[in-house]
Amino acid sequence: MSPEVPPPTRRALLRAGAGGLLGAAVGGCGFMPAKTPDDKDLAPVRARVDGDLVYFNWADYVDPSVFKGFEKEYGVKVIQSNFDSMEGMAAKLNAGNRYDIIFPSAKWAQRLARGGRLRRIDPTQLTHAEDVFGTYSYFADPWYDPGSAHTVPFTAYKTGIGWRRDRIGELSGSWKDLWNDRAAGKVFLLDDRDEVLGMGAVQLGLDVSTGDAGDLDRITDLLGTLRPRLRGFSSDSYNNLLNGNAVITQAWSGDMAAMLNQAEDPSVFGFQAPKEGTPINSDCYAIPWNAPHPGTAMLFIDYMLRPENVKKNIEYIGYPMPVAGSEKVYAALVEPFPECLVTEADLKADLFFRNGGRAAEDARDTAWTHVKAG
Ligand code: N2P
């Protein structure tokens, strides 16, 4: 099988350049495909080898030994590339790049599915689908993708604070700990618009997804008081804490659990889910409408759901996966960081980031620009 991925056509690139503007006209989805997907592009496909797997995800978000096993069993290659934000992922899709499998968070999955950019997934093609949807009823009909018609959940996580106990001692359990005087100059925030604005919002009792101008002013004022104490914005919280560039950082729960694997002495690290509230999220498997090898993508999803691979992945990536039978694996992994656990009640408490209208999303972009510029 040829690993070739056709490059985007010139026309696709030209059109993608206008994506930001024209995207608004197609239901505010923000995505402008090179051609309008038709029914055939969006119809479910059978799980079967139809080429190599063109894979697009965060770095270190699948155990490398699982890729090896997949390549060996099916005689295909996994051709990997990585993004480091959802905006970065979307930009590549808008530029016409084609992938077989992508991993959007809940609101981005909704945006892509609503915009007609995702192929539907037929769960009867997945031998392990019942282990997900039969046990984790939340995901049988999630708000971001009714009936999970286009997605299979991959992981779940909360956003909290990771820190070095050996450097700054114990914390108070609040987001205010990011302002801790002992940490000044060694504080990182995630390089993520929604997470940073959301962290301000929960402290002020506001909606994590607010696009209201008055709310956003209050949030940027609050974050402005943290700005001089920051060392930077980075979503690599795991390495920043390990190497000591950060003594405290906003962090996704799963990355903090994964860090425990690397730590010589795990007791020097801590993770807390602050009492004012923690944004919750879920990343999922999705197949873009223009995936060159959607059949192989289906096989890959099913392979990832095998119990032995779920275990390997959970232990490597540090994130819980909603697959029946894996609960004990995760509980054992996060014994030192019990606040990493994500329950069905956490999901239902619904501090998910939501898609706003065009004006709200623009207002959030502007607020984020101000926060980053200081
Ligand atoms: C990177 C995983 C990040 C996932 N290690 C957050 N959606």
The pLDDT tens digits for 198-243 are: 999 999 999 999 999 999 999 999 999 999 999 999 999 999 999 9
Question: 7-36, pLDDT tens digit by residue?
Answer: 333 333 333 333 332 333 333 445 555 567
Q: Is the CB of 252 under 6 A from ligand 1?
A: yes
Q: Is the CB of 255 under 6 A from ligand 1?
A: yes
What is the position in ligand 1's atom list of the atom closest to the CA of 281? 7
Q: Is the CB of 60 under 6 A from ligand 1?
A: yes
Give the Å distances, CA to CA, from 53 to 3, 105, 228, 284, 293: 8, 21, 44, 17, 7
Helix, strand, coil percentages (3-state) for the chain, rounded to 5, are 45, 15, 40
The predicted structure's pLDDT at residue 33? 55
β-bridge partners, 155: 283
Residue 194 CA, ligand 1 centroid: distance in Å: 14
* Cα distance between residue 188 and residue 161, in whole Å: 10
Residue 255 CA, ligand 1 centroid: distance in Å: 7
CB 281 within 8 A of CB 39: no
Question: 132-157, pLDDT tens digit by residue?
Answer: 999 999 999 999 999 999 999 999 99
DSSP secondary structure, 286-297, as one string: E-BTT-S-HHHH
Question: 284-323, pLDDT tens digit by residue?
Answer: 999 999 999 999 999 999 999 999 999 999 999 999 999 9
pTM of the model: 0.90
Residue at 184: amino acid letter: A
What is the position in ligand 1's atom list of the atom closest to the CA of 105? 7
* Cα distance between residue 139 and residue 12, in whole Å: 34
Question: Cα Rg for the chain, rounded, in angstroms?
Answer: 20
Q: Which domains does the chain have, with CATH numbers?
A: 25-156+282-340 (3.40.190.10), 158-279+353-373 (3.40.190.10)
Question: 43-52, pLDDT tens digit by residue?
Answer: 999 999 999 9
Give the phi and the psi of residue 28 in degrees, each rounded to 5.
65, 20
Most informative mutation of 255, 278, 280 for ligand 1 (most atoms within 8 A of CB): 255
Question: 97-130, pLDDT tens digit by residue?
Answer: 999 999 999 999 999 999 999 999 999 999 999 9
